[in-house]
Amino acid sequence: MSEASFIAGLTLSHQILTFENTIVALTDEVEKSCYLAARTKAPRAPQLQLLEEWCLNNDLKKFRRKLRVDPDVFTSLVRKLENHPVFSNNSHNPQLPVSVQLTIFLNGVSHYGNGATTEDVTEWASVSIGTVYNCYCRVMIALLQLHDDVIHFDPMEPEDQQERDWAKQWVESRSCPEWRGGFMCVDRSPFNLFQKPGWHGEGFYDCKSHYSLSAQVVILPHNLRIVDYVIGVPGSLHNSNVFSRTCIYGHPETFLGADEWIWADSAYPSLPWCVVPFKRSSMELMPNAHKIFNQHLSKVRI
């Protein structure tokens, strides 16, 4: 055997040995990174079908508690969102129906704490975490682009006139005919922050000992439809201060007509178009007439 042949054979043997060692190393990595036994699927019990059942049984309280809107408002939102291009794609895997994506979104944003975790929503809707994230993103994109069509109130539009009449009928059914003019309500809703902000942190410390952002929401009481709001204000500001930043405070005539007003709690100013309950005096007892008024007002405003 010549020296050249010997060297060539030795080189080939070394390459084969190196290749075998590489295969063994890759085999070890595969065995360490993969499950050798089949994994059992985590049990899931989707509850989406309960929403339809609650609608059929006219159990609006449970439906509203889960999604924070009435079925007719939910249906109206679906109609406005379903033709948005964000809900269509060219993939072989079609998206979930818009109604399901909106349901997942509303369930997530209407809860906080442990009830708002992605894992909790995935178990409730029986979908993956990635699907929940995608639903959040798509619905937010569509809602922000349709903001003025979804959140508005114009007494001159026939649709809003009908909503106003329904709200007045609801108020009358909860109180008396003389009170039907109060067809809107306003209240504060805080958004608690994870921790104290590093910049002007004390300005976000609210009356409930939380660091928060304050939101003022004006709604129609019969279906909780939002018609005006202010968001992003530091939580330390008083309700009346934040309320003064709303459109309805600056231009009440664009929302309310003659003999029409909104209901509020005692933290808000008493105005010709803003009715608040009587405050308790520290010096004397509240008259029974005032107590009865406050009691009936709470049935409308809450």
The two beta strands, 182-192 and 212-220, are antiparallel
CB 266 within 8 A of CB 242: no
Side-chain half-sphere CA neighbours of 296 within 13 A: 17
Burial of 206 (0-12, 13-18, 19+ CB in 10 A): middle
pLDDT at 183: 94
Per-residue pLDDT of 29-51, as tens digits, reads 776 665 656 666 666 667 888 88
pLDDT of residue 40: 67
DSSP three-state, residue 142: helix
HSE, side-chain direction, 13 A CA sphere, residue 140: 9
User: What does the pLDDT read at residue 302?
Assistant: 63
The answer to whether 246 and 212 have CB atoms below 8 angstroms apart is no
pLDDT on residue 105: 94
Retrieve residue 133's tokens.
Answer: 């994230």
- In angstroms, rounded to a whole number, what is the distance separating the alpha carbons of residues 151 and 97? 23
What is the CB neighbour count within 10 angstroms for residue 23? 10
At which residue do the structure tokens 């105005």 appear?
271
The pLDDT value recorded for residue 166 is: 93
- Residue 37: strand, helix, or coil: coil
Residue type, 77: L
Give CA–CA dist 44/126, Å, rounded. Answer: 6
pLDDT at 92: 79
Tell me the β-bridge partners of 226: 219
Model pLDDT, residue 7: 65
Contact 232, 213 (CB under 8 A): yes
Tens of pLDDT, residue by residue over 140-151, are: 999 899 888 778
SS3 186: strand
d(CA 10, CA 13): 5
Domain ranges of the chain: 48-148, 158-300
Most distant CA pair in the chain: distance in Å?
A: 120
Please list, in sequence order, all residues whose beta carbon lies within 8 angstroms of the beta carbon of residue 206, skipping any fewer than 6 positions away: 190, 212, 214, 235, 236
List of the chain residues with pLDDT < 70: 1-10, 31-45, 114-115, 302
Q: How many Cβ atoms from other residues are within 10 Å of residue 90's Cβ?
A: 4
Q: What is the distance between the terminal CA atoms of the chain, rounded to a whole angstrom?
A: 101
Of 296, 293, 243, nearest to 273 by C-alpha is 243
Q: Give how far the C-alpha of residue 209 lies from the chain's centroid of Cα atoms, to the nearest Å.
A: 23
In this predicted structure, what is the pLDDT of residue 17?
79
217 near 153, Cβ under 8 Å? Answer: no
268 vs 277: CA distance, rounded Å: 10
Pull the structure tokens for residue 146: 């349709």
pTM: predicted TM-score of the whole model, two decimal places: 0.68
Within 13 Å, how many C-alpha atoms sit on residue 53's CB side?
Answer: 5
Length of the chain, in residues: 302
